[in-house]
Structure formats: structure tokens, C-alpha cells
Amino acid sequence: MNKLKLAIATKEISAATRQSWAATISEIEEKIEPSRYWMVLGTLDGHGTSAADGIVPAYCLIPEGDDAAEAVLEIALIKHGKGAPRAKALNIYLHPRFDLAARDSVDLAFLTEYSDVTGGALTEAIRVTLYGDDPVKELKLYARSDHMYGYFQAIALNISKNGGVDGLNVRCQGRWLVFARK
């Protein structure tokens, strides 16, 4: 897989993502809940192209040289009174080919690609929100599934076990994975 980059969903990216995801959905729809993916595709055009639009932009994690997203992220900026703004990654949707319900088995190649995409989504969300042009103090990601919850717990435990990350606190808070600048 080519290097992954985060981009705001333009009409071109939305169209390419819709085409790629729809082709996969049609191949595996008996094994998955296709409505989940159709919902994501349906909302891509409803997002703004910048926070200035007054609508939360959808971010797409795309491989270099491609316009179809491997993941779609919804990131909202939350301002609490006079405190520093925080960001919440409300949803991270992976390409339907990563839906474990559609797989009879999981091999090393799949796990590697799955880890590349989920790790890339987390890394890019951190880069954009905590270290981007208008950085926030904290990024929270919500685990909507038990699988994602376990994944978040493993991330927090692994970072803690390995001495942490300079300048960044990482912890689980309920079903949230929290990254906070020190």
C-alpha cells in the first residue's frame, strides 16, 4: 500500500470513494451490514470542505496517487468556555474490505494492511488536530465497537508500557482514547 495521507473530502475524493466502496459492498453484502457503509457514503457530500463552512469536514485517509479513501474520519472541534478547544474524532469508518464479518479467516497480510490503515488514521488525526495549523489541547476518539475498544486499550497500554510519547499523554477514559498535549 502506498503512503497514506489525510485530505478533506472533495467532490472528486467522495466520488472515487463511493465507487470503490460500492464495488466492495456489492461483493460482500451478504456477510456485512451494508447500510452502515451506505450511510457513510451518503453523508460525505453533506460535509463542508473546511471548518469555516460551519459544517464539520469529513477527512479521508487516501493512498498517495489515489482518490478513494481507505478510511473516513469525522473530527469535530469542541470549545468549552475559556478553556483550550478540544477535538473529538466522532467516527472512523474503514473501507468495507476491512469488515471482519466478511472474512472467513485473517492472515498476516490482512492484519498488516488493517494496522497500516487504522494506525494511519490515528496518526493523521493526531497530526491534524494536535500539531496542525490551529492545534487543540486534546483529541478524543470514541470506540463504537468492542473490537475498537479493545484496540484502543491495547494502544494506551502499549504506549504506557514503552515509556510513553514525549510531549503527549495517552490514556483510556471510558470508551474514549485520549491524546493530550502536555
For the entire predicted model, the pTM comes to: 0.83
Q: Element (H or E) spanning 71, and its range? A: strand 71-78
* pLDDT tens by residue, the chain, 182 residues: 789 998 888 889 999 999 999 999 999 999 999 999 999 898 786 665 555 545 567 889 999 999 999 999 888 777 777 777 777 777 889 999 999 889 999 999 999 999 899 889 888 888 888 888 888 889 998 887 888 899 899 999 999 888 888 889 999 999 999 999 88
d(CA 169, CA 166): 8
Domain that holds residue 77: 4-181
Q: In sequence order, what are the residues at sequence separation of 6 or more whose Cβ sits closer than 8 angstroms to the Cβ of residue 156?
A: 170, 171, 172, 177
d(CA 114, CA 22): 19
Asked if 103 and 112 count as a contact pair (C-beta separation under 8 A), the reply is no
| pLDDT given at position 70 | 96
| pLDDT given at position 55 | 55
| pLDDT given at position 74 | 83
| pLDDT given at position 153 | 94
Domain containing residue 121: CATH number: 3.40.630
| Closest of 41, 35, 4 to residue 20, by C-alpha | 41
| pLDDT given at position 48 | 55
| pLDDT given at position 47 | 61
* Domain tally, the chain: 1
| pLDDT given at position 19 | 96
d(CA 160, CA 102): 33
- CA distances 123 to 25, 111, 120, 168, Å, are 27, 17, 5, 13
